Structure 1
């Protein structure tokens, strides 16, 4: 069976080709698209395809041409995908950047991109100006989606421009640029082709997996970081699998989720770990909006055991499943692991289950654990660095080719994730290599503490040579019960006295991950780590 037969294999034609097939999915938005505020909150595939054609016309009018780059940095919403598809339709290379990046970091990335067109908002340009950063100067042309800014074109200036003919990039040429989360420094610009994303990474999700895949009867909800590569493979799966409804949530806001999910009960939900934390207040209701969910999924980061447990219990289905994936922007997901109420039943264990990240996707991914020094495979049960092999590996880091090459070994990719593999091939994640603390797993300690302290939102353990590990505890009010802390840590390795912060006081990436380097520098005044950081 040819799994690629008659499947659209380019971002520039993806939405239009599925419109030609009379796809019947209804798209429900938490708020209107920024590129079409007048179009409301309900779309079908035909209106999406028309938006792609229209956007291609005005991007071309703004100066986008084949082979040049189009940078997109705007408020979080799925119309990132529409803009990227429109740019790719022209033969240009879209670069999707998170609006949560600091202006100074955005400026660095834009300089590296040298875009022909920057699609952004006046608010983004103003935020840069307030700290002395001129974002608009990085591009030949600038289009703002909200209001016109000095020297920039507004959306009204370019709307209605004729749509030029399709000019698609070749299969192995750059087709899309996204960026890494940036937990260990400035994000890297990850370059993918239509071969790596459309042909391979989208393939695993497009298959009709039993239980774990989307079905035509599903109402699928997603709240994600839409500027990241993950959304491309998810979009491909949605268009191919054709669920009944798709709920596109621009932010993980509990009020928006209550409003949309109360009317359109989701059966398949994907969100960032930080998003699930925000939604936890909705799980305790007798008639929870998650009562019909059969499958939850999380990406970008591992999720803590109590969160998984609360959402599985919120479902009224007899056998709801939580699907956890471990992956990177460079490789896509490289392991998958389903969890159920039974697997999550034990609470407060010294070795929690969510760090068991499962097996590589059979037939699509391969993984091995290697010695960090020699890069030779280590025996089962011995700690090492995860290396993965996938045809969907990114083709470069823009402007950092040497850094990309340093992480490759033939067809293998060094993830920088540290862990062990058991004799059945199941992987257990311990830490990022750069964050490692000898003799312990920071991630495991964080899971244990989060499980034992219900009042805690999140725990982050950071290490610095010459000092005991520092636990940073996030609570709603910045307070922590000392007696409860002592009881929770009674059998754990020695740590320093905890620093207690609120959620907003912890520096985070656009996907909600903790910026550990920045946190270490702020609290300890140091950047030294036990790890080498070779593969960050």
Structure 2
């Protein structure tokens, strides 16, 4: 089965008699205590929940072409609410519950939603109607007010009309609101993944686990493909720290997770009774992965040849490159900045001079441009910004990299985070590889000062060990050691580098221009 309409996806999968069961780490927020089956669901039950939620949204006032904003705690019901909005012809706009109040207010003004579904106290005038999942604000509806509403018939839309709005990570400021259509997200991305590819494809006997930020576009596309492939189980974690409890009962054979989740799972993966013993395939997207976390997860598996699939892309483009890694490859300490080659027949890459935007020869660094039919349709409220990043069919990723003679791309840094003459990401790889107690290393650069390494450690840092580890690296300032929770992060666990730089250095000035963030 290939995905067609996200509004009726679960109905179509259920009609095929799927055997897939779905298991959660906690009940859905849209099914509070006493409602629904708790943490274990069938696909027909999810289909029924999507239909029911479509009735809620319609009763709250959402109509064809309207935007429905969702802001709440992280959970997979983000994607169910998105399917419900699509079903009635509305456009879901999924905003992370991690967004600060001032940022949320800006994004809601750009969206001007007909309905806002939220568990927060929303800014005044943020939507025509508010459907509250928590303590209701004055004038807001509650789920009890709309529960049992008539379910409207599905409304189809043209393939090039807006389908969903997701925001970018927002590591460098206010996130952008990315618009995808059925053609760009479903036809160009999800249908490609909804193929039972050898080795990397989902099998009917698989237990597929996902630990993600469900407000982001990756999981909406993932939903469209994985449920069509009908694995035995789908396990959905809203909190990576629930992995030990939940995955012990549903041991996965494939795992897709945020890079930050894999980092947090390293101590769990080191245990003999770890829940990753049956995993044959690990998948990472969203952000750069450093070798120690990949190595720890692959060695946690008891399979003979577990595989790591590292994808690189953006909310605006979907996946652009893939790279496959094995235990043996990681033992050879590969260049983790090598992100592999473009997806054959689907994406093309070129590297250009950051000033003139003219192509540079293979092996030279510059801005990475991508060409893909899955490019997003625009930015809500910032279409001029979208046009500034689009050069004909090419898309400016805002990343600095090198296209090798063999056709692979080596990622150096985000342009805004770059430091002349070095790669901060490469320094982070080396520090984490050389010092096992370093759980995470972030190298920050600002003009007139040496790069500043910020470390999250699992044990006190030995100053002598630090000096030995960096003796052959470019000069850096003395490290700042912080606890994990003291590092500002996005909903996907990415470090908010500019916020961290401002806090530690007293300035947000960087070497990069930030023109393409």
Whether these two folds match at TM > 0.5 is yes
One of 183, 186, 196 as aligned partner of 1:208: 196
Asked whether the 8 Å contact 2:3–2:228 carries over to 1, the reply is no
One of 20, 28, 31 as aligned partner of 1:33: 28
| Matching of residues 388-467 of structure 1 within 5 Å | 388-467=370-449
For 1:164 and 1:265, locate their aligned partners in 2 and report how far apart those are by CA, in whole Å.
Answer: 38
| Matching of residues 479-490 of structure 1 within 5 Å | 479-490=460-471
For structure 2, which runs of at least 5 residues remain unmatched after alignment?
Answer: none
Q: Secondary structure at the match of 1:423?
A: coil
Q: Secondary structure at the match of 2:454?
A: strand
For 2:307 and 2:292, locate their aligned partners in 1 and report how far apart those are by CA, in whole Å.
Answer: 15
For 2:255 and 2:407, locate their aligned partners in 1 and report how far apart those are by CA, in whole Å.
Answer: 28
1:379 aligns with 2:367: no
Deviations 1:47-71 (A, max 9, x none): 1111111001011111111111100
Deviations 1:271-328 (A, max 9, x none): 1111112212211222221110000011111111111111111100000011111110
For structure 1, which runs of at least 5 residues remain unmatched after alignment?
Answer: 1-5, 126-133
For 1:161 and 1:207, locate their aligned partners in 2 and report how far apart those are by CA, in whole Å.
Answer: 37
Alpha-carbon offset, residue 221 of structure 1:
0.3
For 1:297 and 1:434, locate their aligned partners in 2 and report how far apart those are by CA, in whole Å.
Answer: 27
1:365 aligns with 2:351: no
Q: Secondary structure at the match of 1:97?
A: strand
TM-score under structure 1 normalisation? Answer: 0.94
For 2:365 and 2:149, locate their aligned partners in 1 and report how far apart those are by CA, in whole Å.
Answer: 57
Q: Secondary structure at the match of 1:190?
A: strand
Note the aligned Cα RMSD (angstroms). Answer: 1.3
For 1:120 and 1:165, locate their aligned partners in 2 and report how far apart those are by CA, in whole Å.
Answer: 25
**How many residues are paired up?**
514
| Matching of residues 240-251 of structure 1 within 5 Å | 240-251=228-239
Deviations 1:184-232 (A, max 9, x none): 1110000011110010011231122211111111100000000000001
Deviations 1:86-130 (A, max 9, x none): 111111110000001111111110111111100011xx21xxxxx
Q: Secondary structure at the match of 1:417?
A: strand
One of 12, 15, 18 as aligned partner of 2:10: 15
Partner of 1:128: none
Asked whether the 8 Å contact 1:344–1:353 carries over to 2, the reply is no
For 1:240 and 1:376, locate their aligned partners in 2 and report how far apart those are by CA, in whole Å.
Answer: 42
Q: Secondary structure at the match of 2:509?
A: coil
For 2:124 and 2:16, locate their aligned partners in 1 and report how far apart those are by CA, in whole Å.
Answer: 40
Alpha-carbon offset, residue 262 of structure 1:
1.3
Asked whether the 8 Å contact 1:343–1:353 carries over to 2, the reply is no
Asked whether the 8 Å contact 1:136–1:142 carries over to 2, the reply is no
Alpha-carbon offset, residue 476 of structure 1:
4.0
For 1:498 and 1:271, locate their aligned partners in 2 and report how far apart those are by CA, in whole Å.
Answer: 29
Q: Secondary structure at the match of 2:327?
A: coil
Partner of 1:3: none
Deviations 1:141-161 (A, max 9, x none): 011123333221111110000
One of 100, 115, 118 as aligned partner of 1:117: 115
Alpha-carbon offset, residue 474 of structure 1:
1.5
Partner of 1:258: 244
For 2:457 and 2:123, locate their aligned partners in 1 and report how far apart those are by CA, in whole Å.
Answer: 36
Alpha-carbon offset, residue 12 of structure 1:
1.5
For 1:218 and 1:7, locate their aligned partners in 2 and report how far apart those are by CA, in whole Å.
Answer: 18
Partner of 1:130: none
Partner of 1:297: 283
Q: Secondary structure at the match of 1:393?
A: coil
One of 484, 508, 521 as aligned partner of 2:489: 508
1:333 aligns with 2:319: yes
